[in-house]
Amino acid sequence: MAARGCRALHRESVGQRDVSPEPSERSDAWLIARAHELIVASQVNDQQQQFSTADEINELLDEGRRRGEPSLVAQLLRASAVIRLVTKGHVELADPLLDELISHSRRHGLTVMEADGRALLARRMILVNNHEVTLDETAKALAMLNGKLSPDPLMGRRAWERQVSLALQDIALVLTQLGVYEMADEEMTRADEFIRSSGGPHQISVHLINRTRMLVGWGLRLERADRMDDAAGRFALASAIAVSVETPWRDSLHPRSHRDQLAADQVPVVGSAHALAKPGGEHVPRLDKLLQRSRYPRELLITSLALSRCLEHDGDHDEALEVLRHARREMVGDPSEPPLQLSLIREFARLCGPDDGPAATTALSQYNAALESELWMLREVRMATLISRRDHERLRRQHGDITRQALQDPLTGLANRRALDERMDLLIVDSDAHPLSVALCDLDGFKGVNDRCSHAEGDDVLRVVASTLRDTLRAGDVVARYGGDEFVVLMPATTLGDAEAALGRAVEAVRELPQDLSRGVTLSVGVVAVTHQEGSGHALTRADAAMYQAKRGGGSRVFAQRPTVSLGFEDVVEPDTPS
């Protein structure tokens, strides 16, 4: 029996499952690859199979949450949300997943995934006619990915670039749905740069199909503004790109009923692009079949327009009109593709015309011209609003970045010494923060890393340890870089015993890091309980002394310095306990 994996989608039954090892026995990379397969399966299967696909992505997401690796969880949340968005009757189930994706990504500093989540949320808001939130979320996503992006040091470069390209394409698709094609084109051009260096056949074919769809919509919009030459140029370019889909399509994850069948015979947007570039009767048989395959509003609208135009070109006026009439009936109450729906209405009015003679025809034409002018102005306002909101969001984020940089260690992204001092002073005088525990952590064997390897590899080790500390400890704990290879942890509302146990888990997590990430370093930790009357400097001095006790005990452990007991003549220290 074939293993579950990328090849599964080329079977007769798309998305077919087998009895290979459970998700818990699979690697992170396999979970992500399978999630991408399931997204494709959900877009081509019937509804019952879509429900099965949703059940399987639930299993993968549960396993990802159990493992807890932030990037893995974010990617599985995205896949789960996308599958709900394309499954009829499940769209509302995407809402909590998108909320979780955005909050999870923000909490873990996964900017690209947060931007992608906001683009998907904007797409969801289009479906409920909430244009205000659609514009807000789109502007935020644009601002987050504006300018030069820094790769995630904990991800491989190819994986990170694919993540960026997905986010940029999701943003571009929302802009396409809004009819802001110039901005959509910019984001797709940016996505192309990442796909060229890291994308496989499937990613390339999806990107080219999305770009074809955008250009077709752009051409139809230009026609409504009576810019026919510009429209023809967009259709010609869409057709040229549709031709280039064919090569990567053959090796993509998309299923094919026949191995030698072209993408143009299976993907409605691709076949329609050729027909709109050169309308004619020769396209009708293909478009008839593609119309039957059309599952989504954009496919139905574009294919109906292309088929109607080819039928009209071939002299079959009544049949062309019937195709448009059918599409209008199918689209009643669907708000997902406003620009394409306007093109459909315009085409229908152009073909059928009023029955009241030349005067009515003139009036209808004038009304149509005025309506188009107003809609064009609305489009310009919408574009200006998006640009304004994007710039506002960019400035807000820049201001936030400057503020964070003043309080952030540039190497690890943790709080710096200044931020530590400010936070610690506030916690000491805050009664709600007590019992308050403070720990000083030092890396064992770090000097040897710099001596044996390089300072650059030493920096990588510091980043990995910092990330491990941040992910192992609670969200409310403050982890700061104290200097060199030392870190300080502030643990409000935490007894010394609880702090010792939590820090023990952090020590174990660092000890169990793969050798190629940690270079063999371990963590020695000293932790103390802080009183209301104690200054921060004195508390850190005691934590430092406790840390050296941990090192003298062999390192890779926690030493808890118990409070002193005052007897009036001298201070007696209660017994210390290493863990």
Q: Taking the model in full, what pTM does it have? A: 0.67
pLDDT of 6 > 50? The answer is no
What type of residue sits at position 572? V
Cβ-proximal residues to 518 (8 Å cutoff; 6+ apart), any chain: 461, 464, 465, 510
pLDDT of 197 > 90? The answer is no
Between CA 492 and CA 430 the distance in angstroms is: 9
pLDDT given at position 74 = 96
Vertex 541: Cα angle to 539 and 546 (nearest 5)? 95
- DSSP per-residue letters across 322-363: HHHHHHHHHTTT--S-HHHHHHHHHHHHHHH--SSHHHHHHH
pLDDT of 308 > 90? The answer is yes
Q: Percentage of residues in the chain with pLDDT exceeding 90?
A: 60
Q: Look at residues 468, 525, 522, 537 and name the one whose alpha carbon lies nearest to residue 499.
A: 525
- Classified as helix, coil or strand, 16 is coil
- Classified as helix, coil or strand, 523 is strand
Q: Percentage of residues in the chain with pLDDT exceeding 70?
A: 89
262-273 pLDDT, tens digit per residue, is 999 999 999 999
Residue 219's pLDDT band, with cuts at 50, 70 and 90, is very high
Secondary structure string (H, E, C) spanning 389-436: HHHHHHHHHHHHHHHHHHCECCCCCCECHHHHHHHHHHHHHCHHHCCE
The stretch 429-439 carries a mean pLDDT of 93
pLDDT given at position 255 = 64
Least confident of 49-63, 148-162, 305-319, 374-388: 374-388
The tokens for 522 are 């371990």
Between CA 559 and CA 549 the distance in angstroms is: 6
pLDDT given at position 364 = 59
pLDDT given at position 43 = 85
Q: How long a stretch of residues is the chain?
A: 579
Contact in structure between 438 and 488 (CB atoms under 8 Å):
yes
Residue 12's pLDDT band, with cuts at 50, 70 and 90, is very low
Between CA 563 and CA 574 the distance in angstroms is: 7
Q: Look at residues 60, 84, 64 and name the one whose alpha carbon lies nearest to residue 72.
A: 64
The stretch 54-80 carries a mean pLDDT of 95
Least confident of 102-106, 359-363, 517-521: 359-363
Q: Look at residues 384, 374, 385 and name the one whose alpha carbon lies nearest to residue 342.
A: 374
- Classified as helix, coil or strand, 533 is coil
The stretch 458-471 carries a mean pLDDT of 91
Where do the domains of the chain lie, and which CATH numbers do they carry? 417-578 (3.30.70.270)
Chain mean position to CA 402: 24
Contact in structure between 15 and 37 (CB atoms under 8 Å):
yes
250-285 burial code (b ≥16 CB/10 A, e <16):
bebbbbbeeeeebbbbbbbbbbbbbbbbebeeebbe
pLDDT of 375 > 60? The answer is yes
Least confident of 240-244, 247-251, 507-511, 560-564: 560-564
Between CA 180 and CA 451 the distance in angstroms is: 55
309-348 pLDDT, tens digit per residue, is 999 999 998 899 899 989 988 988 888 888 898 888 888 8
Cis omega before residue 70 (within 30°)?
Answer: no
Max distance between CA atoms of the chain, in angstroms, equals: 112
Residue 89's pLDDT band, with cuts at 50, 70 and 90, is confident
Residue 117 falls in which region: left (phi positive, over 0), alpha (psi -120 to 50) or beta = alpha
What type of residue sits at position 393? E
480-532 pLDDT, tens digit per residue, is 999 889 999 999 999 999 999 999 999 999 999 998 888 889 999 999 999 88
- DSSP per-residue letters across 262-274: -GGGT-HHHHHHH
pLDDT given at position 110 = 93
pLDDT given at position 16 = 52
Residue 563's pLDDT band, with cuts at 50, 70 and 90, is low
Provide the total of helices (H) and of strands (E) in the chain, helices listed first. Answer: 22, 8
Contact in structure between 109 and 86 (CB atoms under 8 Å):
no
pLDDT given at position 572 = 36
- Scan for tokens 């989504």, then name that residue: 296
User: Across all residues in the chain, what is the average pLDDT?
Assistant: 86
Cβ-proximal residues to 459 (8 Å cutoff; 6+ apart), any chain: 411
- DSSP per-residue letters across 132-190: HHHHHHHHHHHHHT-S--PPPTTS-HHHHHHHHHHHHHHHHHHHHHHT-HHHHHHHHHH
pLDDT given at position 333 = 82
Phi, psi of 539 (to 5 degrees): -65, -40
User: 489: part of which helix (H) or strand (E)?
Assistant: strand 486-491
Residue 358's pLDDT band, with cuts at 50, 70 and 90, is low
Cβ-proximal residues to 504 (8 Å cutoff; 6+ apart), any chain: 557, 558, 579
pLDDT given at position 256 = 61
- DSSP at 253: S
pLDDT given at position 490 = 96
Between CA 166 and CA 191 the distance in angstroms is: 8
pLDDT given at position 521 = 92
